[in-house]
Structures are given as structure tokens and as C-alpha cells.
């Protein structure tokens, strides 16, 4: 080991920072965060040190560095960019027996500042002993994604209870088990849900239940995470969704969840597909509900993974009601819904200024409702309409919108397999679709985007193939665009 890892308490302690430029400003910000009283030595201050948020938060000695200045300091940082001055600082510290960090110069440094992941009070420091800062940075990025922001709050919850935990569980192995259970179960869930005081209470309850004096049985730790997988491109997962599928014991997923996303699921997690895409066998909803409850009752972390966003035509509410009734804790992780993913990857700004005042997420399925045709209510106005589940009803949807008042020339973009490598964007108009065959033969999941903004795909497309007229794709001559 080249360096001894150590965390310094610098609260209200004097620290000398030599240099007044941009490099010094980055170290200054970090030192101030640690509560140090910083004196900056520099003949002049650069832009960053003389403007907010740093200006005025340190003492400035308007001078060149002199060795006597290191007296009384806890730590010295040299950031002058002038190696001769930096070497002078390092030599003065060496004589005084003081740790010195010379920025980007491990040879002159007796202390190095690691890359950090800050989830205070939890702080992770990574160092390559100055040999490969890029590698340390890479490791840091990996940890940044793996250790979510809730870890700081979790550390606070544990700190508050620490003495009581030690008193109640004097045996170290019992304590380890307790921490393991608490961190995998409801305490961590509550912290992630932003309910820190309830997490305190849950920890106390778990402590009472687990103390040797108590005969209460430990509470079940199972829970369900309802997670949006986005429209297909795994890059569109949220960090939270990624963490969820990597900590899941079991993943219950839809047919719409792409292979690319499924490839990121923890390797030894069980996978349960519950619906086939495109009208194949579909597990009845009641059966899915019962399965989720049973798996959580086994104490498992269950991820219910859905295409797009779980609350957009995702039956999210139905499943959550069942879980709530069964007393199973749950969390919801949003995903990029198909309309938003398709719009971005097809080059269609859903609320383009001048073209559309708003956008609506609709489903063609409402046509079956006893209440009447749900689409008709959205025929007027110039809002962009994003119509889900409409592949087999393109003609009906177009006719309904025409009857309800949309002009025949209204542009339509059909985005099939949005955000996936096979994405196709087919352009048409309401008039053309209404006059065409009932089903133009699209095979993959398709979203229908209606409105002037849909025409912008021709100009703004960037992903996969360029938009193609629907009629051409279907082997017919395109109709004249009606005026």
C-alpha cells in the first residue's frame, strides 16, 4: 500500500491553500464543505475565488508564499501551477512535519486527495495513489450509479439508533444479522421513499422484535418495486430502475420489456414473463396480482417490470391496490413512456411552439368502451395526440378524429419499435389513413402521433432510418396531401 487511507476532521481547523486560480478554487470548495478555516495565499485572486459562491468565505493573504506561513496549519494544499513555488511549499511542510497536497503532483505530495462519492455522512474515497486518476474516476462513476442518494439518509438513521442497537444486541453476529435485515427491508425502503422519520420508527420496531428478550417474530422483508423499463433502449432506464433490477430476487415482466433491458437484470434473479407481446397468451391480471403477493410474502425483493412508465396505460394502480390491501410495502420507479421515447427518437417535439399548445396521451382501446369513443373527445384543437395501443385500429382512429373535427391534412407519424434498433417512422395524414386499409400491417408495438408536430420528423429525425411515407412502405402510391 503506497498511502495510508485516512479521513481528517478539519471542522474549524486552519488550512493553508497556496494559489488563487481555478485549480485552487476546486480544492477550496471541497475544504469549505469539510468545514475548514481556509487561508488563501496568492498575490491575486482569479475569477472563481473573487465571485460567488466562494468569495468572502476564506481569509486572503495578498502575498507570495513564504515558508513561515505553514506554521500552525493542519494541512497545506499547493495549487499554484508553478512547480518551483509548489516545491517550496512541499519542502516547508516536510520540514514542519505537515501533510501537504500538491495538486496533480504526487511526487511533491505527502497527502493525496482521493476521488470521492459523497453521501454524507457516508463518504467513499477512491485513490490510485496518483498513478491512474482516470481509473479512479471510472470507479467513482460506477459507484455513483450503484450507491444512490438515499444512502446518506440511511447512514443518518443508523447513526441515531446506533447506541440503542449496541445496547440491545451486544452480540456482534446478532448485530450484523440485524443490520443486514434492516438494510434489505422496510427501513431502507422508507428512506428511499423520503420518509426518514418513519424509517426511524421502523428501525426501532425491528430492534424491539429482534432483541433476545423479545419473542416476537421478525417482520417479513418482502416488497415489490413497480418499475418502468422505458420503451426499449436500455440507455433510457433511470438509475433507480437499473438499481432495482440489479437487486431484485425475482423480476416479473411484460412482453414489452426489451431484451436489452432484460440483459441488465441480475444474473441469478428469477425471471417470470407474464404477457406475450402482440396478442399472444396473456396471464390474467388476477393471476399476476396473486403472484406478486405470494412472492413478496416469501420475503423476496420483487421487481414488477413494465414497458414505458408503469402509470401510463400500465395498470399500475390495480396492482398497487392489491399490494396495499395485502400489507406489502411497495415503491414506484417511473420510466420513459412510449410517447416521450418515440417522440424524441423520431424527432417530433410533442409541444412544439407554434404547432401545438399541449400534448395528450390517449388510447385507441377506449373505442370499445360502453361510454362511447374516447378519442372523439379529443378531435378539436391543435394538441398533439399520442395514441397507444392503436396499431390494429389506425383507420378507425383516423375516421373518429376526422368526424370530430380534425382536418384531413393533419400529419400523422406512426412510430414502430420506438427507440429500438428496428425503429421505423411511417408518415401519413388522417385523410389517407381513413381512406386506407383497416390495418396497414405494422408488426411491432406502434404509437400513433397526430398533429402538425408529427410532420417535423422529416426535418429533425436522427435515429435509425429516415421517415418513410406509409403508403410507400405498404407498396402503394402515396395520396396527394389534401389542403
- Residues in the site for ligand SAH, rule: CB under 6 A? 231-232, 256, 306-309, 312-314, 337-338, 342, 388-389, 415, 417-419, 445-447
Q: How far from 396 is each of 5, 365, 378, 431, 450, CA to CA, in Å?
A: 69, 11, 14, 11, 14
Report the interhelical angle of 150-168 vs 196-210 (nearest 10°): 30
Spot the catalytic one: 82, 171, 276, 368: 276
* Residue 309 designated active-site: no
Our CB check for ligand SAH shows the closer of 110 and 363 to be 363
Our CB check for ligand SAH shows the closer of 202 and 226 to be 226
- What's the min distance (Å) between Cβ of 3 and ligand SAH? 49
- What's the min distance (Å) between Cβ of 2 and ligand SAH? 50
Give me the residue whose beta carbon is nearest to ligand SAH. 308
Spot the catalytic one: 181, 200, 233, 254: 254
- What's the min distance (Å) between Cβ of 311 and ligand SAH? 8
Our CB check for ligand SAH shows the closer of 100 and 415 to be 415
Our CB check for ligand SAH shows the closer of 27 and 304 to be 304
Our CB check for ligand SAH shows the closer of 431 and 445 to be 445
- What's the min distance (Å) between Cβ of 100 and ligand SAH? 55
- What's the min distance (Å) between Cβ of 293 and ligand SAH? 21
- What's the min distance (Å) between Cβ of 451 and ligand SAH? 16
Which residues, listed in sequence order, are joined to residue 102 by a DSSP beta bridge?
A: 78
Our CB check for ligand SAH shows the closer of 201 and 466 to be 466
* Residue 254 designated active-site: yes
List strands edge to edge, sheet with 75-78: 59-61, 37-41, 14-18, 75-78, 100-102
- Which sequence positions are flagged as catalytic? 254, 276
Amino acid at each position: 500500500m503506497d498511502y495510508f487511507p485516512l479521513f481528517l476532521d478539519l471542522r474549524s481547523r486552519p488550512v493553508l491553500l497556496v494559489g488563487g486560480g481555478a485549480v485552487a478554487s476546486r480544492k477550496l470548495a471541497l475544504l469549505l464543505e469539510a468545514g475548514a478555516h481556509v487561508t488563501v495565499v496568492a498575490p491575486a485572486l482569479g475569477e472563481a475565488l473573487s465571485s460567488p459562491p466562494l468569495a468572502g468565505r476564506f481569509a486572503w493573504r495578498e502575498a507570495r508564499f513564504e515558508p513561515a506561513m505553514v506554521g500552525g496549519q493542519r494541512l497545506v494544499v499547493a495549487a499554484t501551477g508553478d512547480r518551483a513555488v509548489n516545491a517550496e511549499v512541499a519542502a516547508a511542510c516536510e520540514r514542519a512535519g505537515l501533510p501537504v497536497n500538491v495538486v496533480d503532483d504526487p511526487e511533491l505530495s505527502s497527502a493525496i486527495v482521493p476521488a470521492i462519492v459523497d453521501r454524507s455522512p457516508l463518504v467513499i474515497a477512491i485513490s490510485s495513489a496518483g498513478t491512474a486518476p482516470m481509473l479512479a474516476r471510472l470507479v467513482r462513476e460506477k459507484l455513483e450509479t450503484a450507491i444512490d442518494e438515499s444512502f446518506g439518509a440511511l447512514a443518518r438513521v443508523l447513526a441515531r439508533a446506533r447506541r440503542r442497537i449496541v445496547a440491545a444486541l451486544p452480540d456482534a453476529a446478532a448485530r450484523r444479522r440485524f443490520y443486514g435485515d434492516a438494510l434489505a427491508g422496510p427501513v431502507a425502503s422508507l428512506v428511499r421513499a423520503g420518509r426518514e422519520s418513519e424509517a426511524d420508527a421502523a428501525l426501532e420496531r425491528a430492534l424491539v422484535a429482534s432483541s433476545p428478550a423479545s419473542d416476537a417474530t421478525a417482520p417479513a422483508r418482502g416488497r415489490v418495486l413497480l418499475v418502468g423499463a422505458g420503451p426499449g433502449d436500455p440507455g433510457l432506464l433511470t438509475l433507480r430502475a437499473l438499481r432495482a433490477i440489479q437487486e431484485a430476487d425475482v423480476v416479473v415482466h411484460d412482453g414489452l420489456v426489451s431484451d436489452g433491458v432484460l440483459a441488465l437484470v441480475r444474473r441469478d434473479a428469477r425471471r417470470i414473463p407474464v404477457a406475450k407481446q402482440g396478442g399472444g397468451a396473456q396471464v390474467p391480471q388476477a393471476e399476476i396480482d396473486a403472484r406478486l403477493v405470494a412472492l413478496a410474502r416469501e420475503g423476496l425483493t420483487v421487481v414488477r417490470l413494465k414497458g414505458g412508465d408503469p402509470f401510463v396505460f400500465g395498470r399500475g394502480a390495480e396492482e398497487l391496490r392489491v399490494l396495499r390491501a395485502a400489507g406489502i410495502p411497495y415503491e414506484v420507479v417511473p420510466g420513459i413512456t412510449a410517447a416521450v421515447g418515440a417522440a424524441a427518437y423520431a424527432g417530433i417535439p410533442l409541444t412544439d411552439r407554434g404547432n401545438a399548445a399541449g400534448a395528450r396521451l390517449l388510447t385507441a382501446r377506449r373505442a370499445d368502451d360502453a361510454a362511447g369513443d374516447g378519442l372523439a373527445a379529443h378531435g378539436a384543437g391543435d394538441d398533439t395526440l399520442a395514441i397507444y395501443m392503436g396499431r390494429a385500429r389506425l383507420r378507425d382512429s383516423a375516421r373518429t378524429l376526422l368526424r370530430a373535427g380534425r382536418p384531413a391534412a393533419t400529419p400523422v407519424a406512426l412510430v414502430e419499435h420506438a427507440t429500438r434498433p428496428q425503429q421505423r417512422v411511417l408518415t401519413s395524414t388522417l385523410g389517407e389513413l381513413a381512406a386506407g386499409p383497416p390495418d396497414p400491417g405494422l408488426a411491432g408495438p406502434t404509437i400513433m402521433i397526430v398533429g402538425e408536430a408529427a410532420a417535423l420528423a422529416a426535418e429533425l429525425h436522427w435515429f435509425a432510418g429516415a421517415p418513410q411515407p406509409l403508403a410507400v412502405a405498404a407498396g402503394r402510391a402515396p395520396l396527394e396531401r389534401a389542403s
